[in-house]
Chains A and B, each alone.
Chain A
Amino acid sequence: MSVLVFTLIILIGSCFAGFLGSLTGLGGGFVIIPLLTVILHVDIHYAIGASLVSIIATSSGSAAAYVKEGITNMRLGMFLEIATTAGAVTGAMVAIYIPTHFLAVILGVILIASAFLSLRKKVQQAAAPNPWAEKLKLNGSYPGDDGTINYSVSHVAGGFITMIFAGVLSGLLGIGSGALKVLAMDSIMKVPFKVSTTTSNFMIGVTGAASAVVYLQRGYIEPAISMPVVVGVLAGALLGSKILIKSKSSGWMRWVFVIVVVALASQLIYNGITGKI
């Protein structure tokens, strides 16, 4: 296999990963890391580095669109970024000392758990007033179908702690941990769905950048691999967002995504346990 063929395979795989990730809102990292390590036998650290770069690209690209619509809660995002970046830096520094086969097993388990987490039925709950939310100016509003909708945020401390954990996972495994971020905002802080998904996406770029600078210095961000990954994932995500506007029924797509993730992640766990990675 030549470099050209190798690059084209990654490009096509990344495009597919970005497409699925965009339709399901989970990001391309989920499919791309197992694809690189299990199928193309790339060192898992390189795979994590490339995935981090791609999540920064997709997060920034889509955040640019959401931010203009005024749905993203920028103060909530900025406040929680203290937790995610601190966690991400810790995770990225720890990742260097963790044996690769162990990293593969953790990643496989987290990927499967997050994929199933994405299938859960969402029930919107009203937020209880929180003194911290008031002090930190986290309560916000967004443009709804019938005028501006105001909302408040609850359980600020619980949400913050969960975000530290999400940050650690992101730095350790190179995923956006969007599923966990959304869970923290939806279920714990009781933020409206529209706001939680866009704010989570907004935060993913900064969280990714905080870990990427660590990977960059260690030489784990390999240009030859990151190039097709970032271009492919971004192209796939763009395509996905175009389709998402046309059709709202992404129910079966989620299942496709879960099946793909579970298949790849189990392979990752298997290879990790048998020491092939």
Chain B
Amino acid sequence: MEAKKHKFRDTDMQAVIGWVLRVGVIVSISIVIFGGLIYLFRHGEEAPNHRKFTQLPDFVKLGGIIKGILDFHGRSIIQAGIILLIATPILRIVFSTISFVLEKDRLYILISLLVLFIIFISSISGHIS
């Protein structure tokens, strides 16, 4: 029972956060590479066209991504990996918040929640306009 009473310290938090970041990057990049290979295999011979932004693709919306993955579309799989990559630093803040809770650092619980709130507002901004 003694081990459970071990007080949560900054060094523990650093170990956890380091782990979250590493796993997040490795997993998401693996997905991106996997999707990339499928994309190149299926579309490698076509002519690229990215000169001008034209329209919103299907995989912007979650439903579109899931459908694309089920259809084995390379670009949708890449996009899923990219979303996971973008989520990695956000996940890092979530873990920081948890460790501030364990440390009972009220000020920093508030500060991390504020950062999460700003990112949340940002992530729903597109649906407002």
Residue of B13, B47, B86 near A213 (CB, 8 A) is B86
A155 near B: Cβ within 8 Å? Answer: no
B interface residues, tally (CB under 8 Å): 66
What number of A-B contacts does a CB cutoff of 8 Å give? 195
Minimal Cβ-Cβ distance residue in A for B100: A78
Judge whether A205 and B75 touch: CB under 8 Å. no
Chain A residues in 8 Å Cβ range of B96: 74, 78
- Residues on B with C-beta less than 8 A from A228 are 36
- CB < 8 Å neighbour of A2 from B46, B57, B89: B46
B45 touching A64, Cβ below 8 Å = no
Whether, in the assembled complex, A61 has its beta carbon less than 8 Å from a beta carbon of chain B, the answer is yes
Q: A-facing mask of B106-126, CB < 8 A → 1, else 0?
A: 011001101100110111011
* Residues of B that sit less than 8 Å from A by CB: 10-11, 13-15, 17-19, 21-22, 24-25, 28-29, 32-33, 35-36, 39-40, 43-48, 50-53, 55-57, 59-60, 74-76, 78-79, 82-83, 85-90, 92-93, 96, 105, 107-108, 111-112, 114-115, 118-119, 121-123, 125-127
Please pick, from B43, B45, B50, B111, the residue contacting A42 in the complex, using a CB distance under 8 A.
Answer: B50
Instruction: Knowing A86-B118, A206-B89, A209-B89, say if A60 contacts B21 (CB, 8 Å).
Output: yes
Which bracket fits the contact residues of A? 35 or more
**B82: which of A2, A46, A79, A230 is its contact (CB, 8 Å)?**
A230
Contact of B85 among A57, A70, A224 (CB under 8 A): A57
Provide the main secondary structure of the chain A interface: helix
B116 closest partner in A (C-beta): A85
- Docked-complex contact B46 and A56, CB < 8 angstroms: no
With contacts A63-B21, A223-B76 known, what are 10 further pairs, Cβ within 8 A? A3-B46, A56-B88, A81-B93, A85-B122, A217-B125, A217-B127, A224-B78, A227-B39, A231-B33, A234-B25
